[in-house]
Chains A and B, each alone.
Chain A
Amino acid sequence: QVKLLQSGAALVKPGDSVKMSCKASGYTFTDYIIHWVKQSHGKSLEWIGYINPYSGGTNYNEKFKSKATLTVDKSSSTAYMEFSRLTSEDSAIYYCAKGIGAYWGQGTLVTVSS
C-alpha cells in the first residue's frame, strides 16, 4: 500500500537550516508529484511547493522561494525539503503529499528555539 514516511521531529536554533525527508513506498515514485505543505500550530494549511521526481522540476510558492529547497533521490524514492534561515515563524508541522493529496505523510514537527 502507498506510504509516505517522514523524518522525525527537529529542534533547531534560529538562523539554522533543517532538512527533512519523505520516503515513499507502494507506488512508482517517479510517476507522481510530491507536494510540501506547512501547518502552523492551530492554523490552516499553506502550500510550499512541489517537485516532479521524474524530472526534478520544481514549482515554489513565492512566499517560500527563498526559504525552501526541494530535492529528490530517485534511488531511494525519497523527497527532501531543506528550510533555511529559520525563525520562530517557521515552527510548524510540515507534510509531504503525493499527487492531488490522497496520501500524506505523518508530518514532521519543526520547532525553532534558542
Chain B
Amino acid sequence: DIVMTQSPSSLAVSAGETVTINCKSSQSLFGSVRQKNYLAWYQQKPGQSPKLLIYLASTRESGVPDRFIGSGSGTDFTLTISSVQAEDLANYYCQQYYDTPYTFGAGTKLELK
C-alpha cells in the first residue's frame, strides 16, 4: 500500500497568515500516460463530510477560493493557504488515487493561534 505521510499534524495560525501543509507519498504518484499526479486535498470541518479542494495535485475544484494552492510532483506535495480566513479552520487530508487501495494522510488540524 502507498503510505501518505502528512505534516505537521496540527498548526496554529493567525488570520491573514500563509500556511503550508506537506504530504509525502511512499512511491511516486505520477502517471506517465496522462502525465499527471494522482493526489487530492480535502478539507473537513467538524460534523461535515470532506470537501474536495484540489485534484491532480494542483487543479482547484470549482468554487474553491484561489487562496488554496496545490503544488508538487512525484512523491512530495504541498497545500498552501494564503491569507488564512477564520472559515479555513478545519482538518486537511491528502489522498493518493494513483493505485488501490487509495490511501489518505493522517490529517492536519488548522487552529487559531
Taking Cβ atoms with an 8 Å cutoff, the residues of A that contact B are 35, 37, 44-47, 59, 61-63, 95, 97, 100-102, 104-107
Contact = CB atoms under 8 A, between A and B. Distances in A.
A45 B104 contact: yes
25 contacts: A35-B102, A44-B93, A44-B104, A44-B105, A45-B42, A45-B50, A45-B95, A46-B104, A47-B103, A47-B104, A59-B100, A63-B101, A95-B50, A97-B50, A100-B52, A100-B55, A100-B97, A101-B40, A101-B42, A101-B95, A102-B61, A104-B49, A104-B50, A104-B51, A107-B49
A3 to B, nearest CB: 12
A74 B55 CA distance: 28
Contacts of A47: 95, 100-104
A62 B107 CA distance: 22
A106 B50 CA distance: 9
B106 A44 contact: yes
A63 B100 CA distance: 12
A56 to B, nearest CB: 17
Given A44-B105, A44-B106, A101-B95, 17 more contacts: A44-B93, A44-B104, A44-B107, A45-B50, A45-B93, A47-B104, A59-B100, A61-B100, A62-B101, A97-B50, A100-B40, A101-B50, A101-B52, A102-B52, A102-B55, A102-B61, A106-B49
Contacts of A45: 42, 50, 93, 95, 104
A58 to B, nearest CB: 11
